[in-house]
Every structure is written in structure tokens, then in C-alpha cells.
Structure 1
Amino acid sequence: MLKEKKVFVIGHKNPDTDSICSAIAYAALKNKTDDGVFVPKRAGEVNNETKYVLDFFDVETPEFIGHVGTQVKDVEIKPTPSLDEGISLKNAWNKMRDLRESTMPIVNDGVLEGIISVKDIATANMDIYETRILAISHTKYTNVLDAIDGTMIVGDSEEEITKGKILIGAANPDLLENYVEDGDMLLTGNRFENQLCGIEMNAGCIVVCTGAPISKTIQKLAKENNCKIISTPHDTLMVARLISQSAPVRYFMKKDHLITFSREDFISDIRDTLAKIRHRDFPVLGRDGKYCGMLSRRSLLSMDNKKIILVDHNEKGQAVDGIDEAEILEIIDHHRLGSMETALPVFFRNQPVGCTGTIIYDLYQENNVEVDQKIAGLLCSAIISDTLMFRSPTCTPKDKKAAEELAKIAGIEIQEHAEKMFRAGSSLADKTPEEIFYQDFKKFSGNDKNFGAGQISSMDKTELEQLRPKIAAYMEGAVKEGEMLFFLLTNILTESSDLVFAGEGAKELVETAFGEPEENWVHVPGLVSRKKQFVPSVLHVLQQ
């Protein structure tokens, strides 16, 4: 059974309560109405207000996702079995042939030690001129027996070959004794005198070919002189061809400068490597560094991008990183139309209401899905937050009606819940100016000019006044060339904002749109909505 593809439901960077709660509620709805697995995610840290809401309704905070580009783990990873480093070339070749694999990993206790390819084995067979290859590679006698279909007559098959060369005993004993050295492996046939010569010259092993009988005298002498004897049914020529294939793959495998990828690597980051290195398969490692499979170049042709549903935004600059590499399925939003482009048609729902949560509530009703107590609490909190408890000019009768109905389901009193939410959100004692500035920050563009705007709402006038110079100082150091930054310190009770600004042209823009400022800020009565009041005013000035 194929594993169901996950779809991530995610809000904008620097998420507010609406962004987080709408993602959770919409994922829950989709899991009840659609095929697939829908998972809420977040593109940034949750603020204090949102933490309070999630804790109050006992809902788990969505996991963070910082990039939605396609990763190695999103591509089919072949579960190519591994080889032991001691396996012979012959057995490695047989396994690769049977599995139709061109490359296989060498793994020891989960750790990748190297890789061996068909090309490596072919090169080994064609380029081996070293007659001491078995000693150099510390080949076990078990490998030799397997390669030549041999039987150990005298000796321990588990021992390793550590010295000597491979020698064919075709000469007569008088000549042969000049060639046999200590530890050599002598290939011979049914020639008693050559077998005896090998033992007397301290050969390490005598391989008797064609299944020739081995006398008890030779066996006795071999034991006394610590010389091993192997019997094989193959003739000398065949044994000479096969015996080098008994060498272990660890001697021939690639083990230095291995090109490996992590399951977490993004395909966009490794494309250059894949283009330059013409391997068919690459080892893939898990987070623990252990081998978990092979990435095939062919699998990239059919890779499946991450599937995303966006809520509470439709501008690329506000979206999670890597959004261009993802497949956007739906967009649910209540803001102006932005710069988002999609490769395929999508379900797009955008309504002029004060909160995405209101739209999500509509979708529950349209699909005849009951809203449970927790989801109702989240959606109600989102509406309260985004409309500043119905004080914002973005608030519509539809928002207020939805919040009241959801509050009944959630079993909360709106005024009391709102006050606790806002107090939790305006608790800034443990935050730096940078954290406060970016906790609800969005980027915009208009008339080829980029600007960013953050906002914080509070019921504490003194706290806002103390925060204003700290935010202004941070913005002066953070603003980039050609950029304008703004920050709204909104007083919920007085329904007004202190607007702090920084950047080239920002002061002139503020003066045109909102009135004569102080050095780096201006008090604007009635300004509470970034979406419906501040951003349209800025864009209007930029377009003049």
C-alpha cells in the first residue's frame, strides 16, 4: 500500500494568532472532507498571544518548517541492500547482477564505509597484475574456497592470507624450488613432487586442481609444516582466473571523498553536484549519519514536490522559504491580492472580512462539518485577535457574528477571553526589540519600492511608550539601503497607533500619508489596521 502524501497547511512568516489557528482548523477540516493527510505547520515562532490561546484550549503548537523546497526524503530513496566489506569480488558481482544494481554500499553497523560499482569490479578484473593481491588485501581463505568451489583439506578456513604470492606450479621441482617463497599460494595438479616441493619451501597454501587425490603423506607433511591444502574441481587455468575474485571488496571500494547526501538536503542545493558527477546512484544518510538507501538520478525525473495550502496570505514575500519549489493546492486569505504565482490552477478563496478564521468557519458550515470545542475556541480567538475585538475597521458584521457563534461552542465569554489574550500578547518583558519587531512583520512592495511593516497591539499605554524608542533604535540599525521599515505600536483601548519609521524616504512618506511626524515617529489617531488602513495609505503615496 502506497504511503499517503502529506499536505502542509501553513500561514505566513512571523505568524500571528489568525495564521496559526486557521492553519490548524483548516487542516482538521480537510482531514474530514478530503483524501490525504493534512498537517498544520508554522513558518516562524509563535507570539505570546498565540501561545496563550493554544495553551488555553490545550492544542499542540504546529511544527516549524523553514523551507518547503523538495528534499531528498521527498524523492524515492531505493532501499538498496548493503554489502559487508569482507565479501569477495565474485559474490559482490553476483549480488549486483541478481539485484540489477550498478552501485552498492559497503556498510558496517549502519555506517557507510564505501561504495563498489560494476565499473570498479570490471577494473579490478582487468587491471590486477599484482600476484600478491590476496596477501595485500588480507583475504580470508573462506573467500578463496567460495571463489574456486574449493574444499579445505588441511588448515583453518577462517584465517587470513597475510603474505606470499600466487604461483602456478607447472615447472619441475628443480626449477620450481627457485620460485616458491615463504607463504606463497601454489596452484598445482596431481604432481606429488611439486606438492612436496611447495611444502619444503614453506608455501602457505597448496591448491590441488582438477579434484586430484591428495596423499595422506602430503596431508601429514602439510600439517607438520603449517601449510594449508585446498582441493578444487576446476583446472589450473580456471583457478588462476577465479582466485583473484576472492579478494574482499574493501580493497577495491571507493572510501575517500565519498559523495553522499542527507535526507534533509534540498534538491535545489545538490543539483550542481548531480550534474557534475555522473554516478547513477548516490548514498543517502539519515540524521544519525547512518546509511538509509540510495538516491537514483532517474528518481529525480519523477520526484514529487511538497504540496502546500496557504492560509492568511497570498504574497510571495510573506510565504515560507522555497515556496517556488512547492506545489500550491489552495490559498485561503482575506488580504489584498499579492504577488503569488502558481504553475497550475488552484482553489483560491479570498473574502473581504477581518480574519481568515471567519472564512474557515464558513467552510466548515458549507461542508456540513461540526466544529468541535477546541477548533471553535481557536477560530474565535483568531477573529478577536485580527479584529482587535471588533474595533478594527477591517471587522465586518460577518466576523462578529462568527465570533459570537464560535464563542458559544467553545464555552468562552468574548470580553473576558479577549482581555486575557491581549494581556498575554502585550507581555514584552522577556523579549528583545528584534524579537518584538519581527513577531508580526510582513513585507510589501509597490511601484518598485519594497517596505516592511510590523505591528504590536497592547492595552498598556505605558508599556507602548517605553517600547517606542527601543524599537526606533533597532530599526535604524536594521534598515537596508533602498528599503523602508515601519512599526505600529497600537493601543487597543484608545484605538490609535504610534507609527515608527526608518529608511530613505520614509519620513516624507509618513508626512504625506499620516501627518507631520516627530523625529522618527508620529501618533496617528484611529490607525489600528495594518491591512486596511496603513498599507493602502502607503501604496497610495508610492503610486503618486
Structure 2
Amino acid sequence: MACYLDDLGPEAIWLLKHLQLAPPRQISDVYWRVTDVMRNDVPHLSPRNTLREAGLLMRETELGALPVLDGQRLIGVLPRDLLADRYLALLDVTLRVERDLATARQALNGVVLAGRPDAQLRGQVWVGTFSPKEARRCIQPGDVVIVEDDSELQRATIEAGAGCVIVARNAPVAQEIIELAQAHGTVLLRTPRSSLAAAALLEQSGAVEHFMEHDSVTVNPNDLLNEAQQHLRQNRLASIPVIDDNGTYQGLLLRRVLVPQDRRRVILTDHNHSSQAAAGVAESEIIAIIDHHNLGGLRTLQPLSMQIEAVGCSCTLIAEAYRRSGITPSPQIAGAMLGAILSDTVQFRSPTTTPRDREMAAWLAELSEQEIENLAHQLFRARLPNPVPPPDWWVSRDWKAYTFGNTSIGIAQMELVDVEERMPPLEELRTALRFQTHREGLTTSLLLLTDILDQFSLLIAADQAGEQIAERAFGRRFAEGKLRLPGVMSRKKQVLPPIAAAITGAARM
């Protein structure tokens, strides 16, 4: 999965749109999140599903709880423990039901012999193991009585005022019993089930909405997995529903994810400094690094594949890997890599440009059917949004921090055309630089404004400390808050080395 940090620049946004490519996924860290392990293929219940249907589904899926949805909205959760409680209720002599006749008939696979089709069953459930005399004494008006092949008991229950008499095992029912039930307004239902099975099925025919838990714990897809696991442990849950910011059900986080997860496998491209990497990279399994910058202080937990070479763009290395493997990238991917090479090398004007960059650019241009000169021109025009953004955008858009001994320095770069006419006021840029320096806890910071076509750069420092470092590095003096550097185009090759030398040289003095 392709990901990126921070925000996409206007140049990248234009290129993706031009090539009709969906943007990668934006991340701030590589920690495991709920969305990485949740199940979105788990069956769910509707409010009108019966407890029996829920139980069968739980047995089939081996899940400890099922979400209850109304459309895409979560309205409750039915845990397995609740089903177990309902089954134990069958042992309760005061078991009561509240069902419509249609639901009971369907659950029992029964036939209605007497009574109104829209009747409601409300009352205590009796399994008729008593005598007719006991029936007349115990049964209350509206109760539900399950009997078998005992016409006297059938008669007694009806005369006692039972609301529903269920005749089990398809036992015979005399016509006079049917007529008696009609006269008393009693529902008479015959089922092939046994008495015990009929009682169980009657209990299990209740709609899920009457038994589910309404106030269930939920998590968001973007929640950190370790925090969601704490909810599972603390609440002793089999699963937790996953609900997005719009309140829409997204899936289920299962307890089985409490098993320690493998470290996330990560490939770093175009960076390898820990200060530039996503949070959590140090705890991840870095399996490869593809870069064209200097080697940073990033530590890995195990050996890895590393390719760091002095070319103008990391996409040159990736394109070479495509060709070396005999794989032809799609025209869109080829166009994206071509755009990256043209951007990084400033259309081959940067001193970091190598023959390998030119060779891969020509190959990718052929595959993508993009004309190099035209694509580069459109890319450079797209670099600066309209209207001109505020100073903090200029400072943070392409910002990198470096540490040399006890000195940490941030160096931002903006590559534009007509830079002196389009840059914000100098003091506003210095203020933005100081704010960025303070926010990141650095010693100082610099902003490199590079004019792509006229091939020079202006260097601006956050403070006097930054100016002193830059003056030692380049042997020039700042004039009106700016240091003009003719021919300087590359931060990596022309700015960073002398800055590093100036800092380390001062430290040895």
C-alpha cells in the first residue's frame, strides 16, 4: 500500500490529476490501527431476526457476538452470553413470552386450528405435565400451554382461559376441542415438535431487538489498535463494532486480534532519517530502503535490503528495478515516475542529475507517452498555488531537519520560477522560520528559495545563528536579510554538505 506523510504539494496534486491516478493514502504514523485488522465481512443481524436465527448464525461463524443493524446504523449487539441466559430461562417455571401468532407459528412450523391470525401471545408458558384439575387451578387467562395427546387436558386448559394451546407432536385434536377453542377465543396451534422443543423454539422466536444490548462499546476505524485492545480486555468483550465518524457501521474488531500482531512491514522511499520518517517506524520491520539522500541515523531491528545511490531522484532507482525485473509499468505509473524525476532534477538542471536519470526519464516518457519539455513546464507552473499561500506554507512545504553533533538545523526549500517577484515579504518568512524552529526544538533553520529557470537560490535564515552558519558555509555575507547563491540548485548536494562542514568545523574549534 502506497502512503505519504504530511500533505501533497500542488505539483503532486496536479500530476496525479493529469495522469488520472488516485492519490496514495495519507498517514501520520505506521502503528497498527483498527482498520488494519477489523473484519468487514462478518454477517450481521436485523432487529426482526429471531434468537434462534442469531444462535445458528453464531454457531456457523464461531463468533461471540453479532452486531444488530438498521440499514448501515448500529442499534445494538447480541452477545453469546445473552443467548445462553435465554436458554437457561427455559428452566424457569415463570417463563413468559410476548409474541405475535405469525412468529410463533413459523418458529414451530405449526398449523393454526383456531384463533385469529393476528392474535398476540402474552403470558406464562406451561408445559402440560399436570392433570386437568391442576390445569384449572394453575393456568391464568392468556397463558400459553403446551400439551400432547390428552383431550381432557386440552379441554381443561381452554376452559381455564389459556390464550394459546399448542398441541405438540402433531397429536390429534377432536373437532369439539377446535370448536371449544373458537368459542373461548383461544388460539389452537398444532406443531410436529415435542413439548420441550416447542417450549425452546417459542422462547427462541423472540425478536433480537427485544434482547440485544443497546449501549455497546464502539471504536473508530482510525483508533490505535492497542487502545482498542484495552477496551476488549477491560470490558471482557468478544468483539467491538467499528463505527466511522459519520456513525456508519464499518465492521467488527474481534477479540482474537489480542494475539500479538506481527510488526508492520515497511519500505522507506526517498528518505531514511528518523526525523523524516513516520512515527512508529523504529518499532516496525523495515524490509527495504530506496533513497538517493545521505544516510541518516535510522536503526533497524534486522538486516534489510538497502539501495542508496547518488542519482537525482529515487524514482530513477525504482524505474531501473522495473526494467531489471522485466516488468513494464502502466502508462500512468510511468508518467508519475517521470514527473518525479523531472521535479527532483529540475528538468535535469540540478547538479545531482546523472546520466541514469536522463536514461530512465527517456524510457518512462516513451511508456507514458508524455513529452518531457511540456510535462516539466506544466509541473513547474503548478508548484505555487493561486492565490499565493502564506509564509508558513513556504517554510513547511519541503522541510527537512538534520542533526550534526549537538546542533540541529531545519532546511526548507521552494523551487519556483520568478522567485524574487513571487516570494512573501522577507520578515514574514523569517518569522515563520523562527516559529518552525521553536516548534521542532531545533537550533536554527534556513529557507532556500530556488529559481528554476534563472538557476540561482536565495538563502534566508531564521536568526543570527543561522546566518553565521550559512556565512561560514558559503564564504559570503548576507545582504538585506538574504544570501544570494548563483548556480546553487540542490539542497542535498550544494547546501547540506557545506552547512554540515561549517557546523562540525565550528564544533571542533
TM over 0.5: yes
Does 2:329 align with 1:355? no
Question: Which residue of the partner structure matches residue 447 of structure 2?
Answer: 487
User: 3-state DSSP class of the match of 1:337?
Assistant: coil
What number of residue pairs does the alignment pair up? 500
Shift in CA distance, 132/448, structure 1 to aligned 2, threshold 3 Å: farther
Confirm or deny: 8 A CA contact 1:70 1:326 kept in the other structure: no
Shift in CA distance, 523/463, structure 1 to aligned 2, threshold 3 Å: same
Query: Which digits, 9 at most, give the CA deviation of each residue in 1:215-272, with x for residues without a partner?
Result: 323322322332101335677677666654443333332222x234455554244232
Does 2:488 align with 1:530? no
- One-letter amino acid of the counterpart of residue 21, structure 2: E
User: 3-state DSSP class of the match of 1:164?
Assistant: strand
Gaps of 5+ in 1: 1-6, 15-43
Shift in CA distance, 79/495, structure 1 to aligned 2, threshold 3 Å: closer
Question: Which residue of the partner structure matches residue 459 of structure 1?
Answer: 417
Q: Please give the TM-score of this superposition, normalised by the length of structure 1.
A: 0.74
Query: Which digits, 9 at most, give the CA deviation of each residue in 1:150-201, with x for residues without a partner?
Result: 543213566432x333356777777765654442224456666665555455
Shift in CA distance, 253/335, structure 1 to aligned 2, threshold 3 Å: same
How much does 1:453 deviate?
2.1
- One-letter amino acid of the counterpart of residue 297, structure 2: S
Does 2:142 align with 1:183? yes
Question: Which residue of the partner structure matches residue 439 of structure 1?
Answer: 397
Does 2:208 align with 1:249? yes
Q: Distance in 2 between matches of 1:404 and 1:80?
A: 49
Shift in CA distance, 456/157, structure 1 to aligned 2, threshold 3 Å: same
| Paired residues for 1:60-99 under 5 Å | 60=21, 62-67=23-28, 68-75=30-37, 77=39, 79-99=41-61
Does 2:115 align with 1:152? no
Shift in CA distance, 325/154, structure 1 to aligned 2, threshold 3 Å: farther
How much does 1:337 deviate?
0.7
Confirm or deny: 8 A CA contact 2:10 2:382 kept in the other structure: no
| Paired residues for 1:84-123 under 5 Å | 84-123=46-85
Confirm or deny: 8 A CA contact 1:330 1:347 kept in the other structure: yes
How much does 1:45 deviate?
1.2
Shift in CA distance, 229/130, structure 1 to aligned 2, threshold 3 Å: same
| Paired residues for 1:74-473 under 5 Å | 74-75=36-37, 77=39, 79-126=41-88, 129=92, 131=94, 133-135=96-98, 139-145=99-105, 151-156=111-116, 159-161=119-121, 163-167=122-126, 179-188=138-147, 195-196=154-155, 198-200=157-159, 202-208=161-167, 212-231=171-190, 243-256=202-215, 258-263=216-221, 265-284=223-242, 291=249, 293-299=251-257, 301=259, 308-320=266-278, 323-324=281-282, 327-367=285-325, 379=337, 381-396=339-354, 398-399=356-357, 418=376, 421-426=379-384, 429-447=387-405, 449-464=407-422, 466-473=424-431
- One-letter amino acid of the counterpart of residue 45, structure 1: L
Shift in CA distance, 268/534, structure 1 to aligned 2, threshold 3 Å: farther
Q: Distance in 1 between matches of 2:88 and 2:365?
A: 79
User: 3-state DSSP class of the match of 1:229?
Assistant: strand
Q: Please give the TM-score of this superposition, normalised by the length of structure 2.
A: 0.79
- One-letter amino acid of the counterpart of residue 229, structure 1: L
Confirm or deny: 8 A CA contact 2:9 2:383 kept in the other structure: no
User: 3-state DSSP class of the match of 2:289?
Assistant: strand
Confirm or deny: 8 A CA contact 1:428 1:436 kept in the other structure: no
Q: Distance in 1 between matches of 2:374 and 2:282?
A: 42
Confirm or deny: 8 A CA contact 1:74 1:303 kept in the other structure: no
Question: Which residue of the partner structure matches residue 24 of structure 1?
Answer: none
Question: Which residue of the partner structure matches residue 462 of structure 2?
Answer: 502
How much does 1:314 deviate?
1.7
Query: Which digits, 9 at most, give the CA deviation of each residue in 1:489-516, with x for residues without a partner?
Result: 1234554432223369545544544555
How much does 1:302 deviate?
8.0
Q: Distance in 2 between matches of 1:284 and 1:496?
A: 53
Q: Distance in 2 between matches of 1:241 and 1:189?
A: 16
Shift in CA distance, 208/290, structure 1 to aligned 2, threshold 3 Å: same
Q: Distance in 2 between matches of 1:239 and 1:117?
A: 24
User: 3-state DSSP class of the match of 1:480?
Assistant: helix
User: 3-state DSSP class of the match of 1:114?
Assistant: strand
Query: Which digits, 9 at most, give the CA deviation of each residue in 1:279-316, with x for residues without a partner?
Result: 33334457875556543333564867665443222223
Query: Which digits, 9 at most, give the CA deviation of each residue in 1:474-503, with x for residues without a partner?
Result: 334444253233211123455443222336
Shift in CA distance, 521/111, structure 1 to aligned 2, threshold 3 Å: same
Q: Distance in 1 between matches of 2:181 and 2:248?
A: 46
Q: Which has the higher contact order (CA 8 A, sep 6+)?
A: 1
Shift in CA distance, 466/93, structure 1 to aligned 2, threshold 3 Å: closer
Deviates more, 1:220-229 or 1:512-521: 512-521
User: 3-state DSSP class of the match of 2:97?
Assistant: helix
How much does 1:448 deviate?
5.1
Query: Which digits, 9 at most, give the CA deviation of each residue in 1:119-147, with x for residues without a partner?
Result: 21222333575836313xxx233554566
User: 3-state DSSP class of the match of 1:462?
Assistant: helix
Identity of aligned residues (%): 28
Confirm or deny: 8 A CA contact 1:185 1:204 kept in the other structure: yes
